[in-house]
Amino acid sequence: MTSLLSYVLSVLKKRPPPRPSKHNLPQPRVCHLELGADVIRDRKVFVIGDVHGCYDELCELIDKAKQREPNILCVFVGDLINKGPKSKEVLELVQSMECYSVRGNHDDVVLHEYYKSIGDPNYAMKEKNKWIKDLPWTDFEYLKDLPFTISIPSLNATIVHAGLIPGWGFEGQDFIAMTHMRNIEQFYTIFHGSCPILIPSESSNDGVPWASLWPGPDHVYFGHDAVRGLQTYPYATGLDTGCVYGKSLTGIFLDGTREFISVTSKQPDMFKKAD
């Protein structure tokens, strides 16, 4: 509560510098990656929602997408791993193919456990996270260098895991918000008149969905919000359809059709409030 209050006060004074990641993790070499036309070439960009270690569903989704467009470039909205049954296999797959991903909050969780364990030999890793002990160090290097955003100017598209604060620009975005936010709270003060101060929130109960306020003109594709499922706003699309909770894994083609492709989850149906 104290840290949130301090953050709110700093916003009221002026726009604060980006906060470091929630676990004070190393930053990627490139925080905001841009994919130019030379990278896209003649391929169709296919953005994929939160995988969470659901390897079988990911393979099925990619195969299904390739039936529609054989030459695709996959871009992931983060949370490639954790919670699901085959996170190691997902990491092996994405590193074996030419694709891109932003960093998600569960990618951060894995990095946090890794750095804590190598820094403290007495650190008691949570039982649910002990699977990461089987990962080679190169996997952690890969996760560490996932950018917070990926922009594709030729498609007027931006990919982020959780969200963006309207009006702040890429370089002014808050790192924690980009991996954890779901909503935005609006505050009005006598100093700002009718212009609201926007505060990111991790809770779905505070304020309104951030994507409902995103003004464009670039269209943002994001994940992280499995409770709300597929979200479609004029300038933002949420792609977390709860695969790890027994729902589905969804992707979208960034072409004139903006066609959604989905596959049914193979996980037990245990949908609940996600984090």
Q: Which band of pLDDT confidence, cut at 50, 70 and 90, is reported for residue 180? A: very high
Q: Which band of pLDDT confidence, cut at 50, 70 and 90, is reported for residue 275? A: low
Q: Which band of pLDDT confidence, cut at 50, 70 and 90, is reported for residue 1? A: very low
Q: Is 205 exposed, middle or buried (0-12, 13-18, 19+ CB in 10 A)?
A: exposed
Tracing tokens 């890969």 back to the chain, one arrives at 142
Per-residue pLDDT at 190: 47
Q: Which band of pLDDT confidence, cut at 50, 70 and 90, is reported for residue 238? A: very high
| Fold held by 17-264 | Purple Acid Phosphatase; chain A, domain 2 (3.60.21)
Residue bearing the bigger pLDDT, 128 or 262: 262
CA angle 210, 216, 217 (to 5 degrees): 170
State the Cα–Cα distance between residues 84 and 247, nearest whole angstrom.
13
Residue bearing the bigger pLDDT, 206 or 178: 178
Query: CB neighbours of 163 closer than 8 A, spacing ≥ 6?
Result: 177, 178, 181, 182, 184, 200, 210, 211, 220, 222, 224
> Given a cut of 90, is residue 242 above it in pLDDT?
yes
